[in-house]
Structure 1
Amino acid sequence: MEITAFPGDWSTALVLVAHPDDPEYGMAAAIARWTAEGKVVTYALATSGEAGIAGMSPEQAGPLREDEQRASAAVVGVGEVEFWGFTDSELFNTPELRAKIAETVVRVNPDIVLSLYGGPEWAPGRPNQRDHMEFAAAVVDAYDSLPDPPRALFVNGPGSTHAVDVDGFVETAVASLAEHREYLSVLDPSTPVVDQARAQVEMTTGPIDGFPAAHAAGFTRLRPTD
C-alpha cells in the first residue's frame, strides 16, 4: 500500500497523550524534524504518570516524571508542556476528560492535532494499554464535538496512512526518550537507559512499506475521513 507523505502546510500542532514518555515512543523523531523546520509543537498530558515507577510513591513519581517529560520535550524543541492532573491508570472516556481535551484544543488553536493509537493491539500479542484506548476515544469524541475543529487529527501507530521522513532525527529521538532516566532505569535495571531508548526508537522509525525513506515515522489520519 502506498503511504502518503505527511502534509507540510501547517505551522502549529498540539500533541495530546495520556502519560509522560507517550510522545517519545513513536512521534519524537518527527517532532524533532518539524521543530527544526520552524513549526511550533505543544504537548498536553492527561496524567503525570505517577503510577508508572515501581516502588516509588505517586507523590514522588508524579513530579519526577513531569520533570523528565519537560527535559525530553526540550530535546526535540518543544517548550510548552502541560499536565492536566487526571489519575494515572484510571483514565476513562468521561465528560470531564472530553471537556478538558476540547478546552485545550480551542485554547491552543493548533492547525493539526496528534494523539495516541486507540486500537486493542499494536501487533499480534502486543496489547494496548486501557488508558491509551480510553484516552484515544476521548480525543476523537472531543474533536468531533468542536464546531470549528483543527484541520486534521492524526494518531501515531500501526496501519499508517501518512509518514514522515525522519532521516537525521533518529538520534535526537533516542536522546529525547533517554531523558526518562528514572522511569527506564526502573523498568529494566539490567539494560542501560540509552540502549533501551535506542531499541524503542529504532522499532518505530524503520522503513515503512510504500514510503521511500530509510527512516520514517507513521501516522494515521482519522479526521477528516475522506
Structure 2
Amino acid sequence: MSELETLNWQDWDSVLVVVAHPDDAEYGLSAAVKEWTDAGIEVSYLLLTHGEAGIQGLDSAETGPLRAAEQQTACDIVGVNNLTILDHPDSMLVYNLELRKEVAREIRIRKPNAVVLSNFEVEAYGGLNQADHRVAGLAGIDGTRDAANPWAQRELLDEGLQPWITSLIIITGHDEPTHTMDLNPESVAAGVASLEAHKRYLEALPHHPKPVEFIPEVLRTENGFAKTFRVFGV
C-alpha cells in the first residue's frame, strides 16, 4: 500500500453521511464523526431504511422504530444533530431515480463539503457485500452529482432547493484507502459507545464481537488511532 495522504477536513462546515441502515456508520466512522462535531462541523446522517429486517424473531413493525431510536442515541453520543431516515424497505433497497433524488434533496438542504458513503463494492468486509450497501453507495454517488447539476432532478428547483456542489465523496470501510485522519482516544471511546447504543440489535447477534474490543483494534495504529478513507473529488 502506498503512503496515505492526510485528510484535510479542518476547514469544512458540513458533512453528510449516507448509509443504508441504522448502525452502518458505527463501525469506526462514528469516531471520526466525533472529531468533526467537536471541531464545530455540522454532521448529518441520511439513512435510506429503518433497518426493520435486522433483528430476527422480532416483527418489522416493532424493529423499525426500535432501531431508529437506537440510531438517535448513537447520533447523540457523537454530536450528530440531524438524523433523517427514509422509508425504503430494508434488504430490498432498489436503485432508481427517485432514490437519487432523495439523496440529492438532502444534499441541497445540508450543503455538505463532503458526502461520506459506506463501501459498496461487491466484495467487501471480508466477504460478499449486502445488497442494500451496494445500492446505497451508488445512489450516494449519483445523488451527489444530481445535487450539483441544475438540469438533473428538476423537481427540486420547484421545492426551492438550488444546486449544491460537494467537494469530496469519501468512502469508509474501503480495502484500498487513499487518506487517513488521526483520532484521539476520547473520539474512539465515543465511537465504541455509539455502536453499543444499538443494544437490541447487537443482542440478536450473539457472535458479534464486543464493540469495546474490536473498534479500538480496527482503528489502532503504531502511534495511536486513525481512520482511513478512499477519497474522490467530485
TM-score (structure 1 length as normaliser)? 0.89
Tell me the equivalent position of 1:221.
231
Structure 1 unaligned regions, length at least 5:
none
Tell me the equivalent position of 2:53.
51
Deviation at 1:213, TM superposition (A): 4.4
Aligned residues: 215
TM-score (structure 2 length as normaliser)? 0.86
Tell me the equivalent position of 2:210.
196
2:172 aligned residue (156, 159, 168)? 156
Tell me the equivalent position of 1:171.
189
Q: Where do residues 33-48 of structure 1 align in structure 2 (5 Å cutoff)?
A: 33-48=35-50
Tell me the equivalent position of 1:139.
140
Moved more, 14-23 or 142-151: 142-151
1:102 aligned residue (104, 110, 124)? 104
Q: Where do residues 4-23 of structure 1 align in structure 2 (5 Å cutoff)?
A: 4-7=5-8, 8-23=10-25
Alpha-carbon displacement from aligned partner over 1:163-216 (angstroms, at most 9, x marks no partner) = 11113221111111100000001111x77xxx6212341343122xxxx74211
Quick one: structure 1 residues 203 and 130, their matched pair in 2 at CA, closer, same or farther if it must change by over 3 Å? Answer: farther
Contact kept? 1:165, 1:213, Cα under 8 Å: no
Quick one: structure 1 residues 129 and 199, their matched pair in 2 at CA, closer, same or farther if it must change by over 3 Å? Answer: farther
Tell me the equivalent position of 2:130.
129
RMSD over aligned Cα, in angstroms?
Answer: 1.7
Structure 2 unaligned regions, length at least 5:
150-163
Contact kept? 1:167, 1:213, Cα under 8 Å: no
Q: Are residues 1:79 and 2:89 paired?
A: no
1:69 aligned residue (68, 71, 76)? 71
Contact kept? 2:14, 2:110, Cα under 8 Å: no
